[in-house]
């Protein structure tokens, strides 16, 4: 895949550098691909033809930015693109973010107000089921700000281990629980404002309780119809079965710095897996880790037509504040489907 001019010529694309990229473990992050000859084929056609190579590059690099390809000017275009990659369908129910579906499998990105930062996280790390691949498409960028910063998860885990070894050990050994109060109705002014009705796709308390019981979630109803939830024990650090690297595979930074609204106190959003509150040392270490991530993130300026593909096991993402208008679309998918003739696609092992 690549590996020289001939290899890239065979797939009709080549890696290019962007000003904002950084080098992690000897690799440019993200990998950025552009067509060798613009206008010869649409991105959808190119990706369908070179599906296995593209998905493997995402796995190897954690994130791939596709820039300069044409033929995807609408939400339906993004839908056609991701459908052509033949990935397992993935539901959006557990996502905390308010979103609107604009085409099959395509949603607005988190609709939190533009003045709200969305901290780093692995998508739906607080959920039982997590997407394997994330797709972000820039229909048009913000006037100012509005980047979708990314960072390799292994780099974050390594920093935590080196800077806060005792806290890393406790988090790895004890795991974590996520605590959040869901509103009775969607709250578009909150970055975590998805209601329990939307989250569990039900209008009844009984339906919500059945879904929570199945997931091992405990709950408590408030008198106003809001719902307090606490997940079962979940890992904070995970070894990726494909690479053997440890990942900071969670939504802890997002929770303790960003799960804040009239219903939620971010400092109470995370507990140890055994139910105990995080100690002061752990909170301070996680806040410092969030600051380290902000200093080492890659925050490239979106260009219209850009597509960013993220391996959700290997890279974390966030969102900067921005001056509207801005239109970034998102699509979340599972693993690669097997070929129609029954031969498997390249294996993508995972410890999650």
The pLDDT of residue 345 is 41
39 pLDDT higher than 60:
yes
Query: In angstroms, what is the C-alpha Rg of the chain?
Result: 20
156 pLDDT higher than 60:
yes
Terminus-to-terminus CA distance in the chain, angstroms? 27
Q: What is the pLDDT of residues 112-131, one digit of tens each?
A: 889 989 999 999 999 889 99
Residue 326 CA, chain-centre distance (Å), reads 19
The pLDDT of residue 326 is 96
Secondary structure percentages of the chain, helix, strand, coil, to 5: 30, 25, 45
Using a 10 angstrom Cβ sphere, with 0-12 exposed, 13-18 middle and 19 or more buried, the burial of residue 275 is exposed
25 pLDDT tier (thresholds 50, 70, 90): very high
**28 three-class SS:** strand
338 pLDDT higher than 90:
no
Q: Model-level pTM greater than 0.85?
A: yes
Q: Are strands 270-272 and 176-182 parallel, antiparallel or unpaired?
A: antiparallel
Q: What is the pLDDT of residues 68-106, one digit of tens each?
A: 998 888 999 999 999 999 999 998 767 666 678 999 999
343 pLDDT higher than 50:
no
The pLDDT of residue 215 is 94
User: By percentage, how much of the chain surpasses pLDDT 90?
Assistant: 84
Mean pLDDT, residues 14-36 taken together:
97
344 pLDDT higher than 70:
no
Of the candidate ranges 63-67, 88-92, 260-264, the one whose mean pLDDT is the lowest: 88-92
Using a 10 angstrom Cβ sphere, with 0-12 exposed, 13-18 middle and 19 or more buried, the burial of residue 310 is buried
38 pLDDT higher than 80:
no
342 pLDDT higher than 70:
no
350 pLDDT higher than 70:
no
* Cβ–Cβ under 8 Å, residues 132 and 348: yes
57 pLDDT higher than 70:
yes
Mean pLDDT, residues 149-164 taken together:
98
The pLDDT of residue 347 is 35
* Cβ–Cβ under 8 Å, residues 43 and 66: yes
The pLDDT of residue 351 is 34
Q: What is the DSSP letter of 234?
A: B
């Amino acid at each position: 895949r690549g590996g020289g001019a001939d290899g890239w010529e065979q797939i009709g694309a080549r890696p290019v550098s962007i000003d904002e990229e950084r080098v992690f473990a000897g690799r440019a992050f993200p990998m950025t691909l552009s067509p060798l000859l613009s206008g010869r084929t649409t991105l959808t056609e190119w990706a369908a033809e070179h599906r296995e190579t593209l998905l493997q590059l995402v796995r190897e690099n954690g994130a791939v930015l596709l820039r300069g390809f044409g033929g995807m000017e609408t939400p339906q275009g993004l839908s056609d693109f991701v459908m052509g990659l033949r990935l397992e369908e993935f539901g959006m129910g557990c996502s905390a973010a308010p979103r609107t579906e604009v085409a099959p499998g395509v949603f607005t990105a988190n609709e939190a107000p533009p003045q709200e930062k969305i901290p780093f996280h692995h998508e739906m790390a607080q959920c039982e089921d997590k997407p394997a691949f994330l797709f972000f498409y820039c229909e048009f960028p913000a006037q100012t700000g509005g980047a979708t910063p990314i960072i390799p998860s292994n780099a974050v885990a390594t920093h935590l281990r080196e800077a806060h070894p005792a806290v890393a050990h406790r988090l790895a050994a004890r795991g974590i629980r996520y605590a959040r109060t869901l509103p009775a109705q969607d709250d578009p002014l909150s970055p975590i404002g998805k209601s329990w009705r939307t989250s569990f796709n039900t209008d009844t308390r009984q339906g919500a309780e059945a879904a929570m019981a199945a997931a091992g979630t405990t709950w408590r109803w408030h008198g106003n119809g809001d719902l307090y939830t606490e997940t079962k024990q979940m890992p904070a650090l995970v070894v990726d079965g494909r690479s053997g690297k440890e990942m900071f595979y969670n939504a802890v930074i997002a929770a303790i710095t960003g799960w804040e609204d009239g219903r939620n106190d971010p400092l109470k959003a995370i507990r140890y897996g055994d139910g105990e509150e995080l100690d002061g040392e752990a909170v301070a270490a996680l806040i410092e880790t969030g600051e380290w991530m902000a200093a080492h993130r890659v925050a490239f300026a979106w260009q219209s037509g850009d597509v960013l593909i993220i391996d959700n096991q290997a890279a974390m993402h966030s969102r900067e504040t921005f001056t509207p208008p801005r239109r970034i679309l998102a699509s979340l998918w599972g693993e690669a489907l097997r070929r129609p003739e029954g031969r498997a696609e390249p294996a993508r092992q995972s410890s999650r």
